[in-house]
Amino acid sequence: MADHPVNNKASEIENGQEIAAQPIKPLGLLSLIRVSFVRRFAASLYMLLSLRGLYRFGRFFGTLEYLVNYKKRCKFARRLEHIRGKKSPTSERRVLTRDFFAQSRCNKLFYLIFERLAEENANALFSVTNREMVDACLKRGRGLYVAVSHHGAHHVAGLLFALQGYKLAAVREHGEGAMLRYMQARLDKKYPQMARTKWLYPDTYPREIMRLFRQGYVLGSAMDVSNVRRQHQKTEMVRVFGEERPFLSGPLRMAIRCKAPVIQCFIISEPNFKYRAEMLGPLVDPELIEDEEETVARAMQEYAANVERYVRKYPSSISRL
């Protein structure tokens, strides 16, 4: 996308130096063999069944997982009860639980065969609501903070956003799964757009994050943590699902200080490997800020309210139990 507002190579460089992407931790031999076999198996199914056939296979395999994984079924049922504040009817709970297993399996299959898709076919599977708002924010030249949550297939959406020319930076855990690390390495080699994605970690220095904003990157991270594991992380108390909980506010505060707009994103999975990114906001317009603390408190509560609304509407898209 040569004419895209974020696809400007000059904006990636500050003082003659470009921020280097974080190296991927190498896989052990056994993990490498296992993940490579799974990838080849998924690719073979794709070639044999086509994309729609692979989607149906994913739904079928997810249903089998639903039938045999009693422990995970119970865990989802408890999470569903917590979300809704009451027990769901048995028939409805079964449908939502089965859909949770099927969606999770389909998302993994799509990630594994992504490199087999032609770019135009991959882009046709992805739609973005309020894309004009996203591009208008980026034209300001101060980057963009996209607040996501543990809901939806963000790893898949990250591939699709990068493929469309957006310069991405995302926060990940040090213990990222073997499949994600393996596929990231393969996709970085095939797609130059993805190779420039910057990976940050919870202990990344704030200076590096601020530099990315100044270089016009789209930074995404989840603020709806289940527990705060590092004492230095800044939090804000919000009310969500009928209780007070601390959500991470550090990246939001850095975006405000860099005058980067803040929006919220939810990824909705649709049939046949189609994905829709719903962009909400802006939660924060840096041109309209008078008091930082008041702005943070208001934006965080709006973020929490949106998380509660979407999770209740699409409970099967929860990505962390």
Residue 151 gets which letter from DSSP? B
Phi, psi (rounded to 5 degrees) for 109 = -65, -40
DSSP at 84? H
pLDDT tens column, 167-222: 999 988 777 788 888 898 899 888 888 888 998 887 777 888 999 999 999 999 99
List of E strands, the chain: 13-14, 17-18, 126-129, 144-148, 168-171, 198-200, 218-222, 235-240, 243-248, 262-270, 274-284
The answer, yes or no, to whether residue 237 has pLDDT greater than 90, is: yes
How far apart CA 149 and CA 145 sit, in angstroms, is 13
Contacts for 12 with CB less than 8 Å, ≥ 6 apart: 18, 19, 167, 196, 215, 216
* pLDDT band at residue 25 under the 50/70/90 scheme: low
Average pLDDT value for residue range 135-155: 95
Q: What pLDDT does 3 receive? A: 41
